[in-house]
């Protein structure tokens, strides 16, 4: 298991030391203190910072992020596996968004019946995707 001082952690997570201090004060990050005056953070803190950044990209408030981190820390799921799944879903969502943007001009040319059918198909697939995302959240 890797152990990082605050500067190393900040660099790896691409955040400032001040941000790490703030998240630590909020109880979102834990650290170990040795005989020296340095705080040491584990790999878990780095993973938490990555999760915080992902949630912030979704404009989630810090109070909700803190709640999710609490639930996350109470589960026994492999954090690396979760991060990989989140990355894959995020990539898939971006690809879907691009495909929908490409389809928009074509959909504008459909008659009402064709448009209704297309909307139902998108709705079924979209609701399936949303249920998967909800399970991971």
Asked if pLDDT for residue 53 goes beyond 80, the answer is yes
Give the mean pLDDT of the chain: 80
Residue 10 to residues 14, 16, 40, 57, 85, Cα–Cα distance (Å): 6, 5, 12, 18, 24
**Angle made by CA atoms 37, 43, 47, in degrees to the nearest 5:** 120
Segment 37-59 mean pLDDT? 89
- Exposure of 37 in the CB half-sphere (CA atoms within 13 A): 0
For 12-30, how does the pLDDT look when each residue is reduced to its tens digit (9 = 90+)?
999 999 999 999 999 999 8
What is the reported pLDDT for 116?
Answer: 80
pLDDT of amino acid 2: 85
- Of 5, 85, 87, nearest to 45 by C-alpha is 5
pLDDT at 47 over 70: yes
**Mean pLDDT computed over 88-116:** 79
Residue 110: pLDDT band (50, 70, 90) is confident
Encoding tokens for residue 7? 């500067």
Q: How confident is the model at residue 10 (pLDDT cuts 50, 70, 90)?
A: very high
Give pLDDT tens digits for 63-95. Answer: 888 888 887 776 655 666 777 777 777 777 778
Backbone angles phi, psi at 66, to 5 degrees: -60, -40
**Per-residue model confidence (pLDDT) at position 78:** 65
Kindly write down the DSSP assignment for every residue of 89-120, as one continuous string.
HHHHHHHHHHHHHHHHHHHTTS-HHHHHHHHH
């Amino acid at each position: 298991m890797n152990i990082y001082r605050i500067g190393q952690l900040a660099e790896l997570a691409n955040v400032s030391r001040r941000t790490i201090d703030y998240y630590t004060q909020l109880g979102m990050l834990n650290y170990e203190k040795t005989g020296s005056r340095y705080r040491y953070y584990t790999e878990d803190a780095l993973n938490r910072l990555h999760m915080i950044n992902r949630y912030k990209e979704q404009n989630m408030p810090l109070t909700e992020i803190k709640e999710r981190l609490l639930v996350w820390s109470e589960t026994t799921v492999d954090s690396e596996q979760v991060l990989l799944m989140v990355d894959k879903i995020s990539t898939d969502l971006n690809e879907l968004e691009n495909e929908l943007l490409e389809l928009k001009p074509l959909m504008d040319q459909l008659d009402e019946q064709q448009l209704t059918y297309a909307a139902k198909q998108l709705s079924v697939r979209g609701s399936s995707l949303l249920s998967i995302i909800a399970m991971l959240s």
